[in-house]
Amino acid sequence: MGKLASRIKDAAADIFVRAEQRGAFDKLPAFQRDLSQYPELAALAANYPTIREECLALIGGGVRIPGMEELTSYTSGGIHQIAWKSFMFKSGRFIDENCALAPKTAALLARIPGVYTAFFSVLEPNQHIKAHWGYWKGFVRYHLGVVIPDNNRDEKCWIRINTHAQARGGDKAAIEQGEKYFWHDGDAVLFDDTFLHEAANQTDQVRVVLFLDVARKMPWPLALLNRLFLWIAHQDKSVKEIRRNATIKAA
């Protein structure tokens, strides 16, 4: 990320954290199961069978889905060194080549305002995404269970969040006091990824969720600032690099 964008990000991030502390917008619980504040997202769960069908066709059809570590040098290393792949629909703007491979899902996403990132998050068997913090309070993260091994009968696919551990660079061991959510096919949840969180697929099958970053609902002055920063950030070369590297190449 460029120096100017990075400075703006740090300043705006501090403003959003302070605004949340003052009650300018709601602090999310570990997992927000009531999505009524974001009614536009309901179309995704309502069309879960269609999304699942397209996803299964992709992962079973010989399409090479790039690993997270391949997307950009900005995200390489650390949590991205595991077997975790991304079929990217949108990073700032839609990736037309990818959308053509799952057109019904892409069409659903195109009708939802405020989506900045959208992809099938493909976590291979027996993988653990280590505890880490996200970067941007101006997003809420959405997960829809798409391909969950045995519909999580044995509760081996999960994400855990500690809402009391927000300071980046804090004690990652605090994740042990977090709350777990177990994905299920067709179920959706929202959360704030700036809280310390980890995830795992402890099965011998692949796990897929539809993963979105959506602009957070805020009072209009903060919403305007959020949109301004996100516009600046998505002009950055690192985002363009993600789109380029995430594009599925023809066989």
Is 131 inside a domain boundary?
A: yes
Is 47 inside a domain boundary?
A: yes
Is 37 inside a domain boundary?
A: yes
Please check the confidence at residue 33 and state whether its pLDDT lies above 70: yes
Is 251 inside a domain boundary?
A: no
pTM equals: 0.93
Instruction: State residue 238's pLDDT score.
Output: 82
* Region 150-167 average pLDDT: 95
Which pLDDT band, with edges at 50, 70 and 90, does 6 fall under? low
Please check the confidence at residue 35 and state whether its pLDDT lies above 80: yes
Residues 73 and 187: their CA atoms lie apart, in Å, by 33
Is 122 inside a domain boundary?
A: yes
* Region 145-159 average pLDDT: 98
Instruction: State residue 159's pLDDT score.
Output: 98
Is 198 inside a domain boundary?
A: yes
Which of 32-41, 163-172, 192-201, 214-223 is predicted with the least confidence, judged by mean pLDDT?
163-172
Considering only CA atoms, which of 45, 14, 19 is closest in space to residue 212?
45
User: Do residues 200 and 128 lie in contact, with contact meaning Cβ atoms separated by under 8 Å?
Assistant: yes
Domain with residue 135: its CATH number is: 2.60.120.330
Instruction: State residue 13's pLDDT score.
Output: 79
Which of 2-16, 18-32, 44-58, 224-238 is predicted with the least confidence, judged by mean pLDDT?
2-16
Q: What is the domain extent for residue 120?
A: 3-246
Strands (E), the chain: 84-91, 93-94, 115-123, 127-132, 139-147, 157-162, 179-182, 188-191, 196-201, 207-215
Cα 233 to its chain centre, rounded Å, is 17
Q: What is the pLDDT of residues 90-124, one digit of tens each?
A: 999 999 999 999 999 999 999 999 999 999 999 99
Is 77 inside a domain boundary?
A: yes
How many domains in the chain?
Answer: 1
Considering only CA atoms, which of 142, 187, 182 is closest in space to residue 41?
142
User: Do residues 157 and 182 lie in contact, with contact meaning Cβ atoms separated by under 8 Å?
Assistant: yes
Residues 223 and 218: their CA atoms lie apart, in Å, by 5
Is 221 inside a domain boundary?
A: yes
